[in-house]
Structure 1
């Protein structure tokens, strides 16, 4: 069989174009997650001001994450049609405008609706970002860029939470929400200025001739994909249970911390940045399945540590919990996009859907456990979610390794063409 090597002139690591693309996409992550999570540290103050329970005020988080999950699929289709960069720019602009209105909401349900609209708009970023990076960057360096982009998620989440918490301690929860929006505006400007002009379409012609049915089939039917989506759902549910309720735990007994001091503990998100960046190297060395399984086990152990009524012990547990969660998330999301081949954009959308459904539904359910039985019950709920994720991933390694040694390329370049024009790439397990 004759083969030919297809040239690939997409940006490589170390080039100016590669660095600018990565900087732009990290800014996108910061702009998105600073706004998405800005209400989380001010939930206790919001509950007091609006005279609502922990579970009900946590709906301001769940409404945004749930709407983001639902609209990620819509944004994915728009990205295929109009270009992923355009989708990212428009979604951030709309979300920022809504964020400017949200602090003026004087009623919980008005705020919940506004947050839902903002979350729906923000869905364009996770729906398009990973697929964009795998489209425009050389395949040898795309996974590294995805890891760095995902590291921008905790950077934005931490920045938004810290700024919001500190601002709320000075002027109330409204100031906190406004501060998160301000961080998003600055990051959006960096994105627009940094992105190289020649890479702004972010649109490629899929090898299936643009037929979406085949891409959705690849995103669902490839062995192991459902197990990867389950990791997103369950682990994010555990993560949001802890972070939604962390402020209530720290400002209540036995700690009694102020809003500003309690918000400072969100600096644990720096561990998430390290975990995301480290996961790519760890996956190359030990394999993604092993990294994922060890990370899930460590998450469960860290949840147990968070039950200890000691601030230093709790802080240490939170750092470990955050680090290993983002290791698991970065590993699973990159693995899902890689394994789906031609359906990688759809796989990213489905992964995003599961991830934010976990944040929305399971994070809200954690608040119910807290309201009825306290912090310990919420941690048990989070631990059960971690254990379920571990069980769901038991067969993942064997299912993925059983795949044939063929992976369709979304870009139609960068590999060795085989029979039928499908490129053969080294199997990644």
Structure 2
């Protein structure tokens, strides 16, 4: 069965459901408010999460730690975020999607401000770990909100817009932190990023429409949640989509974590501002995520997913060049391919999950952030031992596993429809 046939079957299955639910459709005021609110949530989440990435070389020098140890400022956040995402899916069933996301965004912004005053490395890591845990209330729940509230026929495009917000946030957090750090030092930089995140959180709270299709579950039923997660893991195709998230995010974060160490050293000797400005290539990610979502709706999600994975691997390989322009080009290609992959893969989770979409999203994001945490730190060993060539081999190998997972997922999805 072709990708388009899979979409037709999914469309027929949801026709009756669409008549019973009140989806947000394009052209309405509520739709535009929800789109902007979710864009702000993605912006705040990823600017707060990744603002420390350009500071890793500074942390290594300031606190006298190795590159791999300095990466813990990010890896601990993403690791605890992965754990929290699983809990968040369960909590949101009783508390509600909107409430949990609001609490998480405000809490994470306040904790980012607190990192500016951390007197030592261990307290810095503790705050960053707590921040990651608090942020867990946003990503999986945001994906569930979109799957529940947006008309399924346009979910790919809307998911692409949300992922575009995460790309813009990731770029802004890195770029602004690099600029602020050079002219004001790293502590005021983190304070300002926290304040910007707090303003975005307030905008999110003011704009997001209440859930109309979410049904609150009274109390906490562990058996219900365990059964929901087990059901998604028994879905033939979904575990392979989760594997794609693990490998793609692991490759992406590894390149971004250690590119800074390479580029601030000879022969490049980039300043913090110059290093931060390289992260403006996230603009390509914003475009690629939106384009990927739209093309997935039109051409077939697995077709675009496979293309995104190949593009990501090509970008990793290009960074092997000693030429700075080619390194930057490689990061551009990598970023575009990664966000195309993530946009389509996250949309596929909502389409392939039969029910309890929040739980399916939480498993996807769990794999996504474990990949970031584990592989992002493991990359430090490759960098220390063998340099950039080892980083490229490590990341391209992960993308080869992602490609294999996508091919298997496509075959299994066709069989189950």
State whether TM-score is above 0.5: yes
Q: Distance in 2 between matches of 1:4 and 1:79?
A: 26
Structure 2 residue aligned with 1:259: 272
Question: Mapping of 1:3-402 within 5 angstroms?
Answer: 6-196=19-209, 199-200=210-211, 203-204=214-215, 211-402=224-415
Q: Distance in 1 between matches of 2:214 and 2:298?
A: 32
Q: Distance in 2 between matches of 1:54 and 1:41?
A: 12
Structure having the higher helix fraction is 2
Q: 15-24 vs 40-49, which deviates more?
A: 40-49
Q: Distance in 2 between matches of 1:110 and 1:191?
A: 30
CA deviation vs aligned residue, 1:62-102 (integer Å, no higher than 9, x gap)? 00000000010111111111100000011112212211211
* Alignment root-mean-square deviation, CA: 1.7
Distance 1:89 1:201, change over 3 A: farther
Q: Distance in 2 between matches of 1:381 and 1:89?
A: 37
CA contact (8 A) 1:151 1:274 kept: yes
Please state how far the C-alpha of 1:281 moved relative to its aligned partner.
1.7
CA contact (8 A) 2:94 2:216 kept: no
SS at match of 1:232: helix
Please state how far the C-alpha of 1:127 moved relative to its aligned partner.
2.1
Please state how far the C-alpha of 1:106 moved relative to its aligned partner.
2.6
Please state how far the C-alpha of 1:7 moved relative to its aligned partner.
4.2
Gaps of 5+ in 1: 405-429
Please state how far the C-alpha of 1:336 moved relative to its aligned partner.
1.2
Distance 1:143 1:291, change over 3 A: closer
Please state how far the C-alpha of 1:371 moved relative to its aligned partner.
1.5
Structure 2 residue aligned with 1:409: none
Q: Distance in 1 between matches of 2:49 and 2:298?
A: 33
CA contact (8 A) 1:84 1:128 kept: yes
CA contact (8 A) 1:79 1:203 kept: no
CA contact (8 A) 1:57 1:108 kept: no
Q: Distance in 2 between matches of 1:383 and 1:129?
A: 30
Q: Distance in 2 between matches of 1:399 and 1:85?
A: 34
Distance 1:200 1:286, change over 3 A: closer
CA contact (8 A) 1:66 1:356 kept: yes
